[in-house]
């Protein structure tokens, strides 16, 4: 599945479930996430947020007041397949 196909399958409900799974380390049925599942879920969250949320609404946003450091909004996120 490529990134575009992945984004198309993620609903707001799935996005929230993914965030909860990452926060707790468990799926809704209390099964622990494997390391591979964590990586895939995090990638899905990031991709979803890039398409559907404003920068300041995204997980991990810290603002641009970095005391002279390069702002996160100035950095380009690149994915390799």
Q: What pLDDT is recorded for position 19?
A: 94
Provide the number of structural domains found in the chain: 1
Domain membership of residue 49 (yes or no) is yes
Q: Is residue 19 part of a domain?
A: yes
Domain hosting 20: range is: 3-58
* Residue 76 placed within a domain: no
Q: What is the C-alpha to C-alpha distance for residues 48 and 12, in angstroms, rounded to an integer? A: 9
Task: Quote the CA–CA distance of 55 and 67 in Å, as a whole number.
Answer: 19
pLDDT tens digit at each of 81 positions of the chain: 677 777 888 899 999 999 999 999 999 999 999 999 999 999 898 888 888 777 787 777 777 655 555 555 555 555 555
Provide the sign of the torsion angle of the four alpha carbons 34, 47, 62, 80, taken in this order. positive
81, part of any domain: no
pLDDT recorded at residue 7: 80
Q: How far apart are CA 37 and CA 40, in angstroms?
A: 5
> What's the confidence (pLDDT) of residue 39?
94
In a domain, 31, yes or no: yes
Let me know if residue 67 belongs to a domain: no
């Amino acid at each position: 599945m490529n990134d575009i196909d992945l984004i198309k399958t993620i609903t707001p409900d799935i996005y929230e479930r993914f965030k909860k799974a990452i926060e707790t380390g468990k799926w809704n049925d209390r099964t622990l996430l494997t390391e591979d599942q964590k990586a895939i879920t995090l990638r899905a969250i990031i991709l979803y947020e890039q398409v559907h949320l404003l920068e300041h609404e995204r997980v991990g946003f810290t603002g641009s007041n970095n005391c002279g450091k390069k702002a996160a909004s100035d950095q380009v996120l690149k994915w390799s397949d």
